[in-house]
């Protein structure tokens, strides 16, 4: 849902992590609630040192697909495996952020619907800022960005490469 300012408000956000992202996920759930969003914790619900991120990340990504208009955040040590796993769910556009700008651009230019964060890569306050920026930033819908996303969507459906210019 967009507010009068064009920013997103009251968004349902599906979160999934592994052991490395467990603490950051709990912090993000609280920060999202405080910002007026509706976090859905897809797990893990207890710290397990050797858990497997696909169990939780794929559930978060599927939640985003099952509920149009929602977003997702997946968290691991680096965020790389979580991003890869989330992007295996058809229709997911998961982006890895390392600055507030990359979090905003993921939404503005790429209409990313899942943010991947590396809990061991930056301070917790930075990660919270990236997440809140991601959730609050709408897709710009500029024609050049929409055109590019349509090419990616078409490839995902047909596996036919876009024509060369």
pLDDT tier, 85 (very low <50, low <70, confident <90, very high otherwise): very high
Active site residues: 82, 109
- Does residue 56 fall inside a structural domain? yes
Q: Are the CB atoms for 103 and 137 separated by under 8 Å?
A: yes
pLDDT in tens, 105-148: 999 999 999 999 999 999 999 999 999 999 999 999 999 999 99
Question: What is the number of domains present in the chain?
Answer: 1
- Does residue 1 fall inside a structural domain? no
Q: What is the CATH number of the domain that holds 18?
A: 3.40.1400.10
Question: What pLDDT is recorded for position 9?
Answer: 61
Give the percent of the chain with pLDDT over 90: 95
- Does residue 164 fall inside a structural domain? no
Structural domain containing residue 43: 12-158
Q: Are the CB atoms for 143 and 136 separated by under 8 Å?
A: no
CA distances from 155 to 6, 88, 94, 111 (A): 30, 14, 16, 16
């Amino acid at each position: 849902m967009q507010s009068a300012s064009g920013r997103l408000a009251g968004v349902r956000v599906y979160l999934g992590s592994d052991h490395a992202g467990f603490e950051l996920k709990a912090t993000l759930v609280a920060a999202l609630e405080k910002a007026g969003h509706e976090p859905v914790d897809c797990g893990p619900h207890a710290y397990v040192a050797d858990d497997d991120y696909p169990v939780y990340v794929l559930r978060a990504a599927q939640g985003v697909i099952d509920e149009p208009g929602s977003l997702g955040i997946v968290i691991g040590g680096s965020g790389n495996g979580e991003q890869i796993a989330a992007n295996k769910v058809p229709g997911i556009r998961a982006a890895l952020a390392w600055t507030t700008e990359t979090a905003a651009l993921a939404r503005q230019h790429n209409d990313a619907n899942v943010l991947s964060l590396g809990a061991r890569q930056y301070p917790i306050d930075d990660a919270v800022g990236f997440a809140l920026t991601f959730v609050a930033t709408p897709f710009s819908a500029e024609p050049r960005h929409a055109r590019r996303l349509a090419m990616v969507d078409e490839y995902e459906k047909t596996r036919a490469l876009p024509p060369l210019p």
